[in-house]
Each structure stands twice: as C-alpha cells, then as structure tokens.
Amino acid sequence: MTKRLLACAALAAVLAASCGDEAASTATGPSAVSNSTTASTQTTTQTGCTRPGAPTNLRVTSQVKLAVELSWNPVAGATSYTVMVGGTPGGTDTFFNDTTDTSVRFTSKDGNQYARVQANNACGGGPSTGSLEYFIPF
C-alpha cells in the first residue's frame, strides 16, 4: 500500500470508531459510546469526553456588497468551528466551512441569509448557535 492509502485507511478507521452503533452503545469502560437524540441535533458522547457548548454572540462584523465577515465569542475547549450559511434557516447552500478562528470572511449570496456556527473538539461537534439572519441587497 502507498502512504496515501495507508493514511486514508487510518482515517477511515478513526471515523468508523467514532460512529456509534449498537455494539458500541452497549460497550463498557472508557471507550463506551452512547447515542442520544434531541429535536434539533443528534449527539454521540463518549465516557470522559465532553463536546463544546454553542458559541455565543454570533454577529455580522463587516458587510461590503457581497463580502461578509461573521464573528463569535470563543468556546472553552473548542479546537475548530463549523460555519454554516444558507438562504433558509438551517441551510448551507451559501457557505459551509471549518475554521480555527472566531471569525470568517466569505462571499455571500444576495437576499436574506441565515448563519449558524458550531464549536468542535476531539469528542465531536456541539450544538450550533441559533440562526442569525442578515440581508444582502440585490
């Protein structure tokens, strides 16, 4: 196998191990996985592992024509953030990207847009912010 295939195989093994299934949800010990579902998100928690909370104070800090900058407060324990922007609440058709910063600049679509941010760490993604609506004139 090439180094690239080995790296892909290793990544696939890590991702498979982090996905909950029936066998994993009945395991015991520090690697036990349990699934819990809420109305808005599905979370998987590992014993001794805590996902970060939702970012706060999501706001548009700059808007010049279609260029938009979003910012939010840092979340303790977060190692990255997933930014999701769409033309409908919960949508991702305008922008979807991961960043380690607490702000992001991107080219938006015109009209009403809805932005959300989710904090992530080694345990997975936490809950996202509520949708922030902003408007880009046509």
Query: DSSP letters along 11-75, please?
Result: HHHHHHHHS--HHHHT--STT-EEEEE-SS-EEEEETT----------EEEEEETTEEEEE----
Q: Check: CB of residue 79 under 8 Å from CB of residue 22.
A: no
- Per-residue pLDDT of 16-53, as tens digits, reads 444 333 333 322 233 333 333 333 344 455 568 999 99
- Rounded to whole angstroms, the maximal C-alpha distance in the chain is 56
In this prediction, residue 48 carries a pLDDT of: 84
Tokens 């909370």 label which residue? 53
Closest CA to 112 of 77, 92, 138: 138
Q: What is the mean pLDDT of residues 91-109?
A: 97
Handedness of CA 46, 49, 50, 51 (dihedral sign): negative
pTM of the complete model beyond 0.85 = no
pLDDT of 102 over the 90 cut:
yes
Domains of the chain: 3-46 (no CATH), 59-136 (2.60.40.10)
pLDDT bin (cut points 50, 70, 90) of residue 76 is very high
- Tell me the three state secondary structure of residue 128: strand
Q: In this structure, are strands 103-107 and 132-136 parallel, antiparallel, or unpaired? A: unpaired
With a pLDDT cut of 70, the percent of the chain lying above it is 66
Rounded CA gap, 112 and 13, in Å? 40
Tell me, rounded to whole angstroms, the distance of Cα 121 from its chain centroid.
Answer: 10
> For residues 31 and 122, which has the higher predicted lDDT (pLDDT)?
122
